Every structure is written in structure tokens, then in C-alpha cells.
Amino acid sequence: MAAKRILVADDEPAVLSLLETFLTEEGYRFEAARSGEEAVEKAKADPPDLMLVDVYMPPGIDGLEVIKQLHEEKLDVPVIMFTAGGSSQMAIEAMQLGAYDYVAKPFDLDELALTIKRLFEHEELQRQVHELREQLRFDPADRMIGRHPKMLEVFKMIGRIARSDATVLIMGETGTGKELVAEQIHRASNRRGGPLVKVACATLPETLLESELFGHEKGAFTSAIAQRKGRFELAHKGTIFLDEMGEMTLSTQRKLLRVLQEREFERVGGSIPIKVDVRVIAATNKWLPDEVAKGNFREDLYYRLNVVTINMPPLRERRHEDPNLDDVRNLTFHFLNKHRFNHSPTPARISEEALQKVLEHDYPGNVRELENVIERAVVMSQGGLIMPEHIVFTEAPVPGAIAGPVEIEQAVRRGQPLDDLLATVERRALQFALNEAGGNHTAAARMLGLERADFEARLTRHDIGPADTAAAG
């Protein structure tokens, strides 16, 4: 820990000399000011850890005026006053203005050493109390609903890593809440006063993604009519969240690796290195070790990202025999409270039969799908009693529909031909990708590893139009 810096303001050279020797021997860094005006200017330029200020410093401003000007400048610097008499009215007034303490001249150096030590101990205690209050204020579960043991482990991990600057990789299926985890890490971190900048990597073509991340110079390409800062610059002193970064091309991955290693980059079309102080949180719905093995993801980037990994459990793994720990149930009642019909003062109620239907579903779309199901049910019941017919899942349970592993097994037992099974899975994947990409064909094709022309040909083959994709979301 760096030595504390103490600024001493006194108009007597002998006093400054004495205190320089004494404070240096005590392990502090000494700085002198020979007038009240100089003390204020130095404190404004670089606030010290402590100021020792004489009350009388003719012909300029006195110590009381120094304290007043520090307050006006909103400089939170502790002050110990020097006085010619310990009980003088001037000392009393100094304490009323906010001085930490006063010491009488001539100095008792042992007394002065003890006063300074007590002040710094008090400051440290105040800092610890402030941090403790911040920690108590933060509870990941206040926005992320979860009582299942797997979610409690996620909350514990957030608490352990939030205050570090370690890069975090969040892996999990779509809809499991990866973005919420990133928000909670930032909110609980020492960077919470800085920006949280989010980048949806899957929805941007490679050319746009590079410019989005790193910015561009004027004239870098045809439409670059002015210089533009990238997301990394905008996230300086804060956090950048790279969502679905498993979709990045190898070229963009290489540039991202350099940023992580050197904390610098050049804008597109530029040559001047730009330094950034950014914490990186990345998320992906792909299992990156497999992507590395396939050659789709750089191994060195994976290890650079994989400093701390949080694996988000899918909703189907958050069921529990104890109803209080069953997160499908917990989330159902949370969403009933959140989505009230026409801002009703009371949430909709759900019948036991409808609740059972909700609890038995497999939720391939995870928490996002459950929220959509409940919101739709509230609307269909007009905020009254939700019945089983109000519970409609993303795809209606028609013959051949596949929602997850259980439905696949059932389809095989029914003797459904493999070609029909594969066609059903392909249709669902096309619908889901298009919905996730917000209707952007290029982005959706890239999510599935297809060329745009091939993707659109498959849409035509399965007769998928805008209405089908809207229903899928």
C-alpha cells in the first residue's frame, strides 16, 4: 500500500522543516504549503490524504478560511489544525467547521503521531463500513429469481468475483439469464460508477461488428462520414458485455484477443493505438471447448476469456421436489406479479390444473419462454383466473412437434420416421434463429452456420414466414 501523503500548511520554515523530518520518519509522504492560498491550490490539484493546517498564516487567508474553501470545492480532505492555545475560540470554531482535531503549539510529537494514526484508522473504518453497506445492499436475487441450489451457487460466484477485474465467461442455453448475470456482476463491482456497454455480437455482420467494437476513422469505408468511437472506448472505466460472442469470426476474435492482452486497439482505418481500462464479460450459448475442437473458436482466446466461468443451468434443471426450491414454480408466481393485466393492483391467479401444466413443460426456451407463456396467459385470462386453456407454449403440442429430449424420445417410440423428426428440428431451429436475430436473415443464417442463400432456401422449403417467426418468439 502506498504511503499516505500529508500536506502541511504553515508560514514558519522551522515548523515545516521539523514536520518534514518527523513525518518522513513516521513513514508518510510530506508536502509543504507556505500559505493558506497555496494549500488550497495544491489540494485542488491533487487532494492529499491529510492536511495539517496552521490557524494563523499572515498576511493571507487563515486556517479557517482554508477549511471553508475546501468545503466550497467539495474536497473531502481531513484536516488537523495547529493552534497557539488548545482551548482557544479559534480551535473550537475550527472543529465546528469540520476539522478532525487540533494540536497545540509547541508540538508534542508523540501526541501528533497518535492523532494522525487515529485519524487514518478512523478513515479506514469508515471505508470498510461503506463497503459493507454496499455489499449488504447488493443481492443478486433481487433481480434474478432463484432458490434452487444451482442458482444459489451462481449467486455465490457473483459475490466472489464481482469486485475483481477478472474476465468472466458466462455459458448457458439461450434464455437462461446470462445478460442478467452480467448486469449483476457490474452492479456489484468497483466499476459500478462507470458504464455497462452491451454488444449483441450475433446480430451484426463481421464488417459492422468490428466497427461497432473498435470504432472507425472518417473515410475508413464508404459510409464512414465521421469519426466514431467504438464500444470498447465507450466502456472505458466500466464493463463491456459481449453477448453471444461465440458468433465472432476468427478475424474479429484475433483482434479481441489483442485487446484482452494489451488493453489497446486501433479504430478501423486508424493507426494510433487507443488504451482502454475495461472489464470484459462474455457470454455464449455454445460450448466453447467443442467450438475450439472444431476450429471455429481460437484456443488462445478461449483461455484468455476463461479466467472465471459461470455455467447457467437451464430451467429444466432447476426443478426440485421441495416446492420452495422449485424455480419453475417460483418464476411462475414472479411473472404473475410482474405482468398484471391493465396495471391491476392484484396479480392474476392460476388454477392448480394450469399450474401443473406449467410445471410439466420442458422449456427449451428456458426462463424467457416461461415468461412469455405467463404473460400471454395473463392477457388471455384478462387478469382473472388462469385456466389450462390459457397456457399455450411456443409451439402447440401437435403430432411431430419436438420441444426437447423427452418429446424426441416419445416421437421415436411412436415410430415417427427419422426424416420427419429431422425436418421438425430444422424448422424449429430456423424459426428460433430468425426470431433471436430480430428478423435479420444474415445474422440468423450465421447463427446456424449457413450462407444467407441456403438459409432463405430452407425458409421457403419449410414455408416459414413472418407470422411463424413471431409465434416462435
Lowest average pLDDT, out of 123-137, 203-217, 438-452, goes to: 123-137
Question: Does residue 374 surpass a pLDDT of 90?
Answer: yes
Question: Does residue 209 surpass a pLDDT of 60?
Answer: yes
pTM: 0.56
pLDDT of residue 140: 55
Exposure string over 139-153, b if 16+ CB within 10 A, otherwise e: ebeeebbbbbebbee
Lowest average pLDDT, out of 77-86, 106-115, 216-225, 243-252, goes to: 216-225
Contacts of 419 (CB under 8 A, 6+ apart): none
Identical fold between 5-133 and 140-313:
yes
pLDDT band at 269 (very low <50, low <70, confident <90, very high): confident
pLDDT of residue 328: 95
State whether residue 81 is helix, strand or coil.
strand
Cβ neighbours, 10 Å, residue 272: 8
Residue 340 to residues 79, 332, 337, 378, 381, Cα–Cα distance (Å)? 55, 13, 6, 7, 11
pLDDT band at 310 (very low <50, low <70, confident <90, very high): very high
Average pLDDT for 9-23: 93
For 223: left if phi > 0, alpha if psi spans -120 to 50, otherwise beta; the answer is: alpha
Question: Does residue 468 surpass a pLDDT of 60?
Answer: no
Question: Does residue 401 surpass a pLDDT of 50?
Answer: no
pLDDT of residue 134: 54
The percent of residues in the chain predicted with pLDDT above 90, rounded, is 39
Tell me the pLDDT of the chain averaged across its residues.
Answer: 84
The amino acid that residue 100 corresponds to is Y
Q: What are the boundaries of each domain within the chain?
A: 5-133, 140-313, 316-390, 405-472
Q: Which residue has the higher pLDDT, 228 or 360?
A: 360
pLDDT of residue 136: 45
The percent of residues in the chain predicted with pLDDT above 70, rounded, is 87
pLDDT of residue 439: 78
Residue 292 to residues 246, 260, 443, Cα–Cα distance (Å)? 10, 18, 21
Look at strands 349-350 and 385-386 and give their pairing: parallel
Lowest average pLDDT, out of 132-141, 166-175, 253-262, 436-445, goes to: 132-141
Alpha-carbon torsion (241, 366, 376, 181), positive or negative:
negative
CATH 3.40.50.300 fits domain 140-313: yes
**pLDDT tens digits, one per residue of 75-120:** 889 999 887 754 456 666 777 788 888 888 888 899 899 999 988 9
Overall fold of domain 405-472: Arc Repressor Mutant, subunit A (1.10.10)
For 246: left if phi > 0, alpha if psi spans -120 to 50, otherwise beta; the answer is: alpha
Average pLDDT for 26-47: 94
Lowest average pLDDT, out of 38-42, 146-150, 354-358, 462-466, goes to: 462-466
- The CATH architecture to which 5-133 belongs is 3-Layer(aba) Sandwich (3.40)
Question: Does residue 467 surpass a pLDDT of 50?
Answer: no
Cβ neighbours, 10 Å, residue 68: 14
Q: Which class is 316-390 in CATH?
A: mainly alpha
